[in-house]
Structure 1
Amino acid sequence: MRDGRRIGVLGAGAVGGALAALLDRAGHEVLVTARGEHADALRAHGLLLTGGWGESVHPLAVVDRLPADLDLVVLATKAHDSAAALEAARECDGVPVVVVQNGLGGADAVRDALPHSPVAIGLALFAASLVGPGRIAITGPAGLTLGGDAAALAVALPLLTEALPAPVGTAGDVLGAQWTKLLVNQVNALPAITGLSVQQVVAHDALRRLLVASMRETAAVGRALGVAWATIGPVGPAAVDALLAERAAPGGSLPGEDVPRALAAGMGDEPNPASTLQSIRRGRTTEIDALNGAVVAAGGRAGIATPVNAALVALVHGVERSGAFLAPEAVVTAVERGLGDR
Structure 2
Amino acid sequence: MKLAVMGAGAIGCFYGGLLARSGASVTLVGRAQHADAIRERGLLLEMGGERHSVPVGVATSAAGLADAELVLFCVKSGDTEKVGAEMAPHLRPDATILSFQNGVDNAARLEVVLGRPVVPVAVYVATEMVGPGHVRHHGRGDLLIGPSGRNEEILALFGAAGIAAQVSENAIGALWGKLVVNCAYNALSALTRLPYGRMIRLEGVEAVMRDVVEECRAVAQAAGVTLPADMLDSVLGLAAMMPAQFSSTAQDLRRGKPTEIDHLNGFVVRKGTELGVPTPVNRLLHTLVKAAETSRS
| Alignment map for 1:61-80 (pairs within 5 Å) | 61-63=57-59, 64=61, 65-80=63-78
Cross-structure match for 1:188 = 186
Flag structure 1 segments of 5+ consecutive residues without an equivalent: 230-236, 241-255, 325-342
1:177–1:141 distance in 2 versus 1, CA, 3 Å: closer
Once the two structures are TM-superposed, the CA of residue 46 in structure 1 deviates from its matched residue by: 2.0
Once the two structures are TM-superposed, the CA of residue 101 in structure 1 deviates from its matched residue by: 0.6
Larger gyration radius, structure 1 or structure 2: 1
Normalised by the size of structure 2, how large is the TM-score? 0.91
Once the two structures are TM-superposed, the CA of residue 54 in structure 1 deviates from its matched residue by: 4.4
Cross-structure match for 2:108 = 108
Q: Deviations over 1:82-102 (max 9, x none)?
A: 222221352215310000011
| Alignment map for 1:82-231 (pairs within 5 Å) | 82-86=80-84, 87-94=86-93, 95-116=95-116, 118-148=117-147, 150-163=148-161, 165-186=162-183, 187-229=185-227
* Aligned 8 A contact 2:189 2:195 in 1: yes
Normalised by the size of structure 1, how large is the TM-score? 0.80
Matched, 1:297 2:270: yes
Cross-structure match for 2:284 = 311
2: distance between equivalents of 1:28 and 1:110? 25
* Aligned 8 A contact 1:93 1:114 in 2: no
1:53–1:286 distance in 2 versus 1, CA, 3 Å: same
Cross-structure match for 1:46 = 42
- SS of the aligned residue for 2:5 comes to strand
- SS of the aligned residue for 2:258 comes to coil
2: distance between equivalents of 1:175 and 1:141? 20
Cross-structure match for 2:259 = 286
- SS of the aligned residue for 2:115 comes to coil
* Aligned 8 A contact 1:130 1:278 in 2: no
- SS of the aligned residue for 2:28 comes to strand
- SS of the aligned residue for 2:44 comes to strand
- SS of the aligned residue for 1:227 comes to coil
Q: Which amino acid aligns with 1:317?
A: K
1:283–1:39 distance in 2 versus 1, CA, 3 Å: farther
1: distance between equivalents of 2:144 and 2:88? 24
* Aligned 8 A contact 1:129 1:136 in 2: yes
* Aligned 8 A contact 2:120 2:172 in 1: no
2: distance between equivalents of 1:53 and 1:83? 37
Q: Deviations over 1:125-159 (max 9, x none)?
A: 121111121111110134111114x2253443332
1:303–1:219 distance in 2 versus 1, CA, 3 Å: same
Q: Which residue of 262, 265, 278 maps to 2:237?
A: 262
Flag structure 2 segments of 5+ consecutive residues without an equivalent: none
2: distance between equivalents of 1:90 and 1:279? 30
* Aligned 8 A contact 2:158 2:164 in 1: no
Q: Which residue of 244, 247, 252 maps to 1:274?
A: 247
Once the two structures are TM-superposed, the CA of residue 25 in structure 1 deviates from its matched residue by: 0.9
- SS of the aligned residue for 1:141 comes to strand
Once the two structures are TM-superposed, the CA of residue 173 in structure 1 deviates from its matched residue by: 1.4
* Aligned 8 A contact 2:42 2:55 in 1: yes
1: distance between equivalents of 2:92 and 2:280? 41
2: distance between equivalents of 1:36 and 1:321? 26
Deviates more, 1:291-300 or 1:34-43: 34-43
| Alignment map for 1:27-46 (pairs within 5 Å) | 27-46=23-42
Equivalences, count: 292
2: distance between equivalents of 1:136 and 1:194? 24
Which structure has greater strand proportion? 2
1: distance between equivalents of 2:272 and 2:48? 37
